[in-house]
């Protein structure tokens, strides 16, 4: 979790009252954050990653002042129209397609406030921005910029400017290879034919996101009064929330927030948008989750303590809160405001006898049967490369992709088990054959039946890999397993592209299709760099268990 260092004097002035160390320690902990230590004029606090709006003196003080009752309720921020425009060129579509921007005027910077701004920027980069991959932030002295500003992408050799704290002008490629910040974040632009830049009407380059600002146009000093702020990335909603977090913090420093008109190739947008989101409060759900019996007025008071607005069953969520997505999030904040220490412990009045889940007993029995056949159990991740489970496996399927995945290797939830085990075989080609492996795990499919839009199921996958394996051998394994659990099945010939045509079967139990069985397609074997044939069984344990119990 990120740790921030708060200036105690600045913090107390923002809260609106002086707090004793005891009160400060107690309330910071009750707010749901972790106080590490207080040393002199410094407060060291660990903030949970779901609250990026608290990663500054201003944001943290805003939350605490509401919590202790000094300034309860929804904090309102006025946004003025600046009349300035930012033009987003089509060229950034394949590099860093979105930006959200704002201007904040009438600031009075000193060394302390510059430190605070730098800390907000860096903490947001590391956490909410996922080390600049998800969102990159630039803050500039507006008096040095001639509008309108353009967001374009150019050949890196054509991009030439003096990077922040550098001693010479560099082009885009030189910045990535020679500048310390460029080397640290070079991977974010690697393999890109064009690099994104912000440039003003006089062709002065402001920055090359997500890497570095210009030293000439992108450095704030104590003389700066107005600032231009931009966030760039791949999800406009993420960037919009990020800009809201920054401008509200600067407004609490005394600044005046001004909007900008963003002219995209297909539409126009105005940012920042600080209008609160509306959510209907499900009080019954909240009480069930917390084990309480709160009245509407009591829940409303708890919400106001956490900085929300409330009226006629509707919760008004601040525009800088990135973590409120569901009723469960409102329930959590109500619990914090109510006080976990005020929730009484109760011993359940229900007498039960514990026993192991029947499905888990069933899975363990299957595992023991397969181990008895001298198969080796493996464990792989729920996350997998999308291309590995589709293109490499010769399957055209709609998989559940991960937004802002940390790595391409883990950018989707696995749709089926076989690719994960084929990858295990690929990584173990140096070991002796035969290789006979199995895994029981969870797969994920899109579904309109669930609240999350994703349905889970348990699968068993068995792979046999050696020079003489074939359909007959994998069917013998399946027949033995079904015989040991006293289940009768039928196999009908089918076509399933990941499997070899004419060597693929659909397995049914009590009229329910529960598995595919067969020999893996040679094209898929080639994609996984496998030289030996592979026979496979992919069995839906969830469906099999239900079919057995009918």
The residue assigned the tokens 């075989």 is 425
Does residue 175 fall inside a structural domain? Answer: yes
Residues 142 and 205 in one domain: yes
Residue 290: pLDDT band (50, 70, 90) is very high
CB atoms within 10 A of CB 410: 15
79-88, 231-240, 404-413, 468-477: the lowest-pLDDT one: 404-413
d(CA 104, CA 248): 10
Domain count, the chain: 4
Does residue 344 fall inside a structural domain? Answer: no
Q: What is the CATH number of the domain that holds 297?
A: 3.30.56.10
Q: Where among 239, 271, 303 does a domain terminate?
A: 271
Q: Where among 271, 293, 326 does a domain terminate?
A: 271
Please tell me the predicted confidence (pLDDT) of residue 406: 64
Q: Where among 271, 304, 325 does a domain terminate?
A: 271
pLDDT at position 23 over 80: no
The mean per-residue pLDDT over the stretch 217-235 comes to 94
pLDDT at position 159 over 70: yes
Residues 193 and 247 in one domain: yes
Residues 208 and 310 in one domain: no
The mean per-residue pLDDT over the stretch 55-84 comes to 92
Residues 313 and 236 in one domain: no
d(CA 88, CA 265): 7
Which residues pair with residue 344 across a beta bridge?
none
- Condensed to tens digits (0 to 9), the pLDDT of residues 292-304 reads 999 999 999 999 9
**Whole-model pTM?**
0.76
Percent of the chain with pLDDT over 90: 77
Would you give the DSSP letter of residue 214? B
Residues 412 and 523 in one domain: yes
What values do phi and psi take at 9, rounded to 5? Answer: -65, -45
Please tell me the predicted confidence (pLDDT) of residue 13: 84
Range of the domain at 305: 277-338
Residues 61 and 176 in one domain: no
Does residue 446 fall inside a structural domain? Answer: yes
d(CA 104, CA 250): 7
- Burial of 40 (C-beta count, 10 Å sphere; 0-12/13-18/19+): exposed
Q: Which residue has the higher pLDDT, 483 or 2?
A: 483
Q: What is the CATH number of the domain that holds 261?
A: 3.50.40.10
CB atoms within 10 A of CB 252: 17
Residues 302 and 254 in one domain: no
pLDDT at position 342 over 80: yes
Residues 227 and 323 in one domain: no
Distances (CA, A) of 162 to 171, 172, 333: 9, 11, 46
Whether the Cβ atoms of residue 322 and residue 53 lie closer than 8 Å to each other: yes
Residues 180 and 284 in one domain: no
CB atoms within 10 A of CB 507: 23
d(CA 239, CA 273): 11
Please tell me the predicted confidence (pLDDT) of residue 450: 83
Does residue 343 fall inside a structural domain? Answer: no
Residues 373 and 489 in one domain: yes
The residue assigned the tokens 């805003």 is 62
Does residue 72 fall inside a structural domain? Answer: no
> Could you tell me whether strands 160-161 and 268-271 are parallel, antiparallel, or unpaired per DSSP bridges?
unpaired
pLDDT at position 508 over 80: yes
pLDDT at position 353 over 90: no
pLDDT at position 1 over 70: no
Does residue 74 fall inside a structural domain? Answer: no
Please tell me the predicted confidence (pLDDT) of residue 12: 81
Does residue 464 fall inside a structural domain? Answer: yes
Q: What is the CATH number of the domain that holds 421?
A: 3.30.930.10
Residues 55 and 202 in one domain: no
Residues 95 and 59 in one domain: no
Does residue 498 fall inside a structural domain? Answer: yes
């Amino acid at each position: 979790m990120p740790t921030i260092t708060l200036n105690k004097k600045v913090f107390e002035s923002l809260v609106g009252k002086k707090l004793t160390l005891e009160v400060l320690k107690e309330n910071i902990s009750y707010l749901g954050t972790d106080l590490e230590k207080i040393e002199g004029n410094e407060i060291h606090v660990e903030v949970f990653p779901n609250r990026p709006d608290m990663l500054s003196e201003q944001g943290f003080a805003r939350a605490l002042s509401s919590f202790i009752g000094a300034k309860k309720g929804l904090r309102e921020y006025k946004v003025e129209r600046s009349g300035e425009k930012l033009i987003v060129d089509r060229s950034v579509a394949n590099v860093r397609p979105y930006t959200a921007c704002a201007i904040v005027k009438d600031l009075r910077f000193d060394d302390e406030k510059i430190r605070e701004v730098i800390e907000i920027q860096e903490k947001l980069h590391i956490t909410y921005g996922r080390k600049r991959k998800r969102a990159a932030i630039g803050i500039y002295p507006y008096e040095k910029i001639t509008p309108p500003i353009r967001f374009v992408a150019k050949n890196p050799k054509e991009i030439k400017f003096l990077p922040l704290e550098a001693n010479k002008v560099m082009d885009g490629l030189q910045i990535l290879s020679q500048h310390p910040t460029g080397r640290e974040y070079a991977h974010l632009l690697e393999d890109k034919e064009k690099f994104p830049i912000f440039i003003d009407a006089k062709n002065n380059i402001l920055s090359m996101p997500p890497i570095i600002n210009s030293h000439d146009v992108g450095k704030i000093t104590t003389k700066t009064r107005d600032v231009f702020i931009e966030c760039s990335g791949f999800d406009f909603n993420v960037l919009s929330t990020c800009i809201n977090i920054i401008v509200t913090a600067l407004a609490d420093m005394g600044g005046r927030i001004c909007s900008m008109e963003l002219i995209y190739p297909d539409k126009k947008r105005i940012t920042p948008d600080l209008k609160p989101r509306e959510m209907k409060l499900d009080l019954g759900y909240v009480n069930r989750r917390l084990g309480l019996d709160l009245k509407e007025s009591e829940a409303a008071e708890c919400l106001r303590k956490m900085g929300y607005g409330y009226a006629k069953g509707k919760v008004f969520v601040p525009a800088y809160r990135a973590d409120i997505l569901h009723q469960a999030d409102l329930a959590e904040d109500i619990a914090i405001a109510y006080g976990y220490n005020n929730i009484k412990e109760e011993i359940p009045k229900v007498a039960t006898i514990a026993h192991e889940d029947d499905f888990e007993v069933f899975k363990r029995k299957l595992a023991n049967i397969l181990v008895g056949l001298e198969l080796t159990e493996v464990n792989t991740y729920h996350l997998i490369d999308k291309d590995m489970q589709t293109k490499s496996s010769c399957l055209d399927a709609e998989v559940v992709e991960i937004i802002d995945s940390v790595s391409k290797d883990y950018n989707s939830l696995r749709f089926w088990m076989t690719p994960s085990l084929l990858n295990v075989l690929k990584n173990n080609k140096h070991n002796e054959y035969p290789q006979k492996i199995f895994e029981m795990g969870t797969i994920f499919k899109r579904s309109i039946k669930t609240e999350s839009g994703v349905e889970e199921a348990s699968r068993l996958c068995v792979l046999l890999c050696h020079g003489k394996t074939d359909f007959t051998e994998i069917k013998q394994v399946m027949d033995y397993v079904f015989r040991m659990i006293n289940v009768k099945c039928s196999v009908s010939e089918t076509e399933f592209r990941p499997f070899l045509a004419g060597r693929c079967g659909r397995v049914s139990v009590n009229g329910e299709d529960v598995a595919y069985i067969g020999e893996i397609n040679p094209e898929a074997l080639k994609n996984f760099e496998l030289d030996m044939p592979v026979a496979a069984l992919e069995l839906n344990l969830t469906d099999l268990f239900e079919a057995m119990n009918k």
